[in-house]
Structure 1
């Protein structure tokens, strides 16, 4: 939850710079709850906004949730659909990774109390501090000069370290990194995001078929 604070403040401040109100920021972060797609949407935001482009980028960035939800599906089958859908709504990268690690320790059983404790705490932290960022951002100016934006990649680096299973399993990560970096250099805008996501998923699929 503490790790969410710096980049939640950055997102809220950046959204305020693009004209989002203090009410609109928590609506976006509360209804979508996907930090990567929200950063991409804010970066692409114009007046008037290119809705189809933002929707497409949001879908592509959040498409990783399809795979994440699939890995949780066997652990949620015993739940009523209402509870399973609620669990999937509150799922984010961090709660997903922590829930899987906890289920592995418990012999493949998902603790719903543990999952919701983690997920809901992260959700509240995200919505609250993006709202504070939207309110305080215009007063503080460019808060990235304090290094807050480094928290976002730092959290994902810690997650990747926890999921490390050797160089062969990490090959899709490398493909995604190289593709995203190349597109970022060559093509302006946020197209490096879908390029990295799609290339990583495609390489993982091809490697799985070969094995």
Structure 2
């Protein structure tokens, strides 16, 4: 290897190492939420009789917080495997919307890279990627580091819940479930950049609650997301049209 190739290799290594650390740092807010919620999942899974290995394997292979909690509840109620699969499938349908939103930024990635990215995509990591990708920050090292750090924290929380299951009778009094809501609020604040974002976020939240009270069940999130995104798109086009007509009027004068 000549000196030029060596310099280029060292520069590439430093860039990738820098990207990894950037991804890890960005994932820290998710880690703070995943550890306590993963702990709660681990405790509940052990309480309904799921083995230690299967509890951890679900966090490694399934890696879907709400779906895992629902699966544990259905297992506790002795639901059929078909019911569990269908219910978790419906709950995770929102991933189709999230993947569709990020797909245009990953066109230069290989199918394998896209598949690995999609496997570790969650609501929380989506919120961060939706802000990173439009800025051109689509480096694989930084992106995978963010995703892997988040999942490792979820697995670690699940493992801690297994060890703590014998010491805790009920996790509800501890308020650990609020950690997930608090994390979503923190991520949402970072996404809000205009008054329209505030309106769409508030509208989506109200619609989600309304659909749930109307009996939509787990569909409330998907329905509210579609309605909120549609409203945001309509408002964006109207604002763009208004600015365009205002610009033409000013140029005419």
Q: TM-score range by the shorter chain?
A: 0.7 to 0.9
Number of the residue aligned with 1:188: none
* Correspondence for 1:78 among 108, 112, 127: 108
Secondary structure, counterpart of 2:198 in structure 1: coil
Equivalent position of 2:217 in the other structure: 192
Tell me which residue corresponds to 2:208.
Answer: 176
Q: Secondary structure at the match of 2:73?
A: helix
**For residues 126-184 of structure 1, what are the alpha-carbon distances to aligned partners after superposition, in whole Å with 9 as ceiling and x for unaligned?**
1122122023212222233222221121112222333341314642332112222443x
Q: 1:85 to 1:181 in 2, by over 3 A?
A: same
Q: What's the Cα RMSD here?
A: 2.2
Please tell me whether residue 44 in structure 1 is matched to residue 74 in structure 2: yes
- Asked whether the 8 Å contact 1:172–1:204 carries over to 2, the reply is yes
1:193 and 1:9, CA in 2 relative to 1: closer, same or farther beyond 3 A?
Answer: same
Identify which of 104, 118, 137 aligns with 2:165: 137
Partner Cα distance (2:77, 2:223) in 1: 31
TM-score for both structures, normalised by structure 2 = 0.71
C-alpha contact (below 8 Å) 1:137/1:143 kept by paired residues: no
**C-alpha separation between the residues in 2 aligned to 1:136 and 1:169?**
36
Paired residues in the alignment total: 201
Q: Does 1:57 pair with 2:87?
A: yes
2:11 aligned residue? none
1:123 aligns with 2:151: yes
Report the TM-score when normalising by structure 1: 0.84
Mark the structure with the bigger radius of gyration.
2
Moved over 6 A (4+): none
| 1:90-129 correspondence to structure 2 within 5 Å | 90-104=120-134, 107-129=135-157
Measure the CA separation in 2 of the matches of 1:55 and 1:109. Answer: 35
